[in-house]
Amino acid sequence: MNEEDILKQVHEMVGSTMLGALGIRFTRIRPGYLEATMPVDDRTRQPYGLLHGGASAALAETLGSFGSHLLVQDSGGLAVGVELNINHLKSKRGGEVTGKATILHQGKRTHVWNIEIADEEGHTVAVSRLTVMIREGRG
């Protein structure tokens, strides 16, 4: 399946999930690398009007977990995020952010992803590292 077909399939699935609720949209999907955007609006801001750290964490976990899913789905594997670390470096009040996830380690039992979240000008808003557990089968 090519990147365009995968993007279309993913966007059809996310409507009633947290991804849909937060407005997360994948823009690039390749083995070991993914990008997605998320608006900074009433859905993703905290009461002080800033991008909520939990929304950034959701974007980071989404990118890494889905990236691992794509890498193991053909072998029947199951990818589950087990640890997320995120540092919030810059505040954001509006517009959108883009997350870029790159796999750092692709082992049989674990994957480790680096995720950088930036604003429209390319300034880093947050950096994250996600560890994903890979299980055999679906159960």
Look up the pTM and report it.
Answer: 0.93
- Residue 139's pLDDT is 52
CA distances from 82 to 54, 56, 67, 135 (A): 16, 17, 14, 12
- List per-residue pLDDT tens for the chain, 139 residues long: 788 888 888 878 777 789 999 999 999 999 999 999 999 999 999 999 999 999 999 999 999 999 999 999 999 999 999 999 999 999 999 999 999 999 999 999 999 999 999 999 999 999 999 999 999 875 5
- Residue 67's pLDDT is 95
The SS3 assignment for 119 reads coil
Structurally, how many domains does the chain consist of?
1
Range of the domain at 117: 3-135
Which of the residues are catalytic? Answer: 61
Question: Domain holding 66: CATH number?
Answer: 3.10.129.10
Q: Which of 121, 79, 128 is nearest to 100 (CA)?
A: 128
Sequence-ordered strand ranges (E) for the chain: 25-30, 33-39, 78-88, 96-106, 110-118, 124-135
For 115, phi then psi, to 5°, come to -125, 125
